[in-house]
Amino acid sequence: MNLNLKNHSVAVIGAARGIGRAIADGFVAEGCSVRGFDRDKAADFITAGDVASYMALQDFAAEFESVNHVVFCVGIGSGKFGFPFWNLDPSDWARVLEVNLIGAVNVAHAFAPKLIKSGGGSMLFLVSVAGQMGSQTDPPYSASKAALINFTQCAAKDLGPHNVRVNALAPGMVKTELNHSIWAAGQKKRPESEWQSFDDWAAEKIKKVSHLGRWQMPEEYAAMATFLASDHAKNITGQTINIDGGQVMHA
């Protein structure tokens, strides 16, 4: 399928590794010009900064003469195990919301005027199945993703008349560093005799949550992100699209 994205200008926030890096590579493979933003300057195409800083994102947006597509791939957990929620302290919530939700809002504010000025385009937020089902693993993480799904719909309504489409992409269990921190936080809550290797923990969890019984891979999100940026998706906005092995099914 020809996506016709050649020479489009793309901003990928959270581009150093994992899903964000795969999405950046996916747009480059389509002939796009890609600039990334991440707290980790892992490559030359990345500007270093924290998404909690609106000023840093405004400076990053100013690097673009025009921009066609913006993808927000940052996400962090609390680093604690959430069963039950009082395992966490209320103060554990602030940083997760600041990065996962306010970070995305900062990106939307910094880039919306540029997308409008470019005559249209797309914005995509990486969310999670955790934001659709009251997942207990890490309540601030789940709540931040639920809020971002809601903001996606709000932004899609506001930006629709300007020909800017806004969607969310929800992974289930993807083979990236993020799952290592979830595994590590979970092991700390178990007696040492019950500790599992990462591979055993992942195999057990995947069997439980995925109807296809396999990991999702970062490249699958790149394929969907580039499709959603293309004109083939010109009538898709305000949607949350799950790539999750059927973990969450909506009627």
The binding site for ligand NAD (CB under 6 A) comprises: 14, 16-20, 38-40, 50-52, 73-76, 99, 126, 128, 171, 173-174, 176-179
Please state the closest distance from residue 144 (CB atom) to ligand NAD, in A: 8
Rounded to whole angstroms, how far apart are CA atoms 95 and 110? Answer: 20
- Name the residue nearer to ligand NAD (CB basis): 75 or 139: 75
- Name the residue nearer to ligand NAD (CB basis): 82 or 118: 82
Rounded to whole angstroms, how far apart are CA atoms 68 and 249? Answer: 31
- Name the residue nearer to ligand NAD (CB basis): 12 or 118: 12
**Would you say 97 and 148 are in contact if contact means Cβ atoms under 8 Å apart?**
no
Rounded to whole angstroms, how far apart are CA atoms 244 and 173? Answer: 7
Widest CA span in the chain? 59
What is the four-CA torsion angle of 5, 72, 249, 239, rounded to 10 degrees? Answer: -60
Please state the closest distance from residue 188 (CB atom) to ligand NAD, in A: 19
Please state the closest distance from residue 25 (CB atom) to ligand NAD, in A: 13
- Name the residue nearer to ligand NAD (CB basis): 99 or 222: 99
Locate 96 and state its tokens.
């997760």
Is residue 47 within a helix (H) or strand (E), and if so which, with residue range?
strand 46-48
Rounded to whole angstroms, how far apart are CA atoms 155 and 100? Answer: 16
Please state the closest distance from residue 226 (CB atom) to ligand NAD, in A: 16
- Name the residue nearer to ligand NAD (CB basis): 95 or 162: 95
Please state the closest distance from residue 204 (CB atom) to ligand NAD, in A: 15
